[in-house]
Amino acid sequence: MEIARYLLIRFLTEVWGFKLDSESGGVLALRDGGNKVVVKTIFLDVYEEAALYKEISELAKYDYDKAFIAVLPSGLPLIDPKHLKSLGIGLISVDPSKGLDGVEMRLPAKPRDKPQAPGVDMARIISAVNAAVAEALNREAKKIEEELYERLRRYLDKAVEDLRRELAARPPIISPAQQQPQPSTPRQAVEENEWVKILRKKA
């Protein structure tokens, strides 16, 4: 079976021009330009249909753009081409007795359908972004307005309080009219006379 594997690799790289990336567990990972190609080698002395289809189903777990299975001519009668077509998997037969000429593609592989990302509505995204930005700006403007109002209120309260303290600390203002002595009445004039005061003391 080593000869079959060797001939298959030569065919894929020399005839088809694929680049071999790696080989593991009977699976060849190759590149065809930018496409990933996987080839599952199923080279058995005796083929069983159940085992064969199990090998085919395992291809689903690999990441590839195109996939093939490679079998010996004795395995071809057990493979249903319609089933492979429905999966998009290609088929290669390898007859080691014929050398490189014994490698033949029996069924082409179809590019694997990969899930497409849903369409993006850029207009809706832009509208949502603009709305979010406008809302954020409104919140920020309101916040700034509230902060300015609070600062102004505190400033005015402090200014009024300082003015009150300054006025309370000043001495009362006396008008000139209040400073002039009031004219005394005749009785007050008599009582304030110095002779009257002396006579009262002697009495």
Q: Where are the domains of the chain?
A: 2-107, 136-167
Distance separating alpha carbons of residues 106 and 84, to the nearest angstrom: 11
pLDDT digit string (tens) for 136-176?
Answer: 678 878 888 888 878 878 888 887 887 888 787 777 666 55
Q: Which of 155 and 68 is assigned the larger pLDDT? A: 68
> Please, what's the largest Cα pairwise distance for the chain?
170
Angle at 183 between CA 179 and CA 186, to 5 degrees: 155
Distance separating alpha carbons of residues 71 and 87, to the nearest angstrom: 17
- Residue 195 tokens read as 């002779």
Give the strand pairing for 103-107 and 90-94: antiparallel
Q: How many helices (H) and strands (E) does the chain have?
A: 7, 6
Kindly report the number of other CB atoms within 10 A of residue 59's CB atom.
19
Q: What are 105's strand-pairing partners?
A: 92
Distance separating alpha carbons of residues 87 and 67, to the nearest angstrom: 9
Domain 2-107 has CATH 3.40.1350.10: yes
pLDDT, residue 138, reads 80
pLDDT, residue 194, reads 64
pLDDT, residue 117, reads 47
pLDDT, residue 150, reads 84
pLDDT, residue 162, reads 79
The model's confidence at residue 34, banded by pLDDT at 50, 70 and 90, is confident
Average pLDDT of 16-36?
Answer: 91
Kindly report the number of other CB atoms within 10 A of residue 16's CB atom.
12
Hey, is 116 helix, strand or coil? coil
| Dihedral sign from CA coordinates of 58, 61, 63, 66 | positive
